[in-house]
Amino acid sequence: MRIFLLGYMASGKSTLGLALAEALNVAFVDLDGLLEGNLGMPVGAYIEEKGELSFRKAEHEALVSWLAEGPEDAVVALGGGTPVFYDHMALLNEAGRTVFLDVSIGELAQRLQGSTDRPLIKSQEDLVEFVAKHLFERRPYYSQAQVRVKGDALGVAELKAALKSYAR
């Protein structure tokens, strides 16, 4: 089974995704890492150089390619904006289990504080307000996930329990 982790920046998609993949003994894919290999540079640098729209097109192409060629059993950490573009939620919901890591605004802002590698937040003076506004805009897409796991201290056990209860 393919499990797609989605949520806002710093919600734990990559960290929890790797741990969940290890616990399930399946492949782990970080979409941003895959993109960095394709683009030959960090995602943040690419967005700053070429713009977000160019990045979203490359992200879409990488995702569609991975969906066609990737392993059937994998945990995939998506980028925070991936669900918002190109009708990705319909594609992802069809391709496997989608899991929204729903972390509070305050916790997200705290995790993002001082981050220098995320171009969308580099120039934000009021990080809490920016995260709240951005999350409000993205929530309709995130809410299309099949499974929602809410909490500021999520772990693999919570993810496995949520996936198990969804399967019933």
pLDDT means over runs of 10, the chain (168 residues): 95 94 96 94 90 94 96 96 95 97 92 70 73 93 96 89 77
pTM for this entry: 0.91
Domain 2-160 has CATH 3.40.50.300: yes
- Could you write out the DSSP letters of every residue in 31-80? HHHHHHHHHTS-HHHHHHHH-HHHHHHHHHHHHHHHHHHS-SSEEEEPPT
pLDDT at 115: 67
> Can you give the pLDDT at residue 123?
60
**C-alpha Rg value of the chain to the nearest Å:** 15
Question: What are the domain boundaries of the chain?
Answer: 2-160
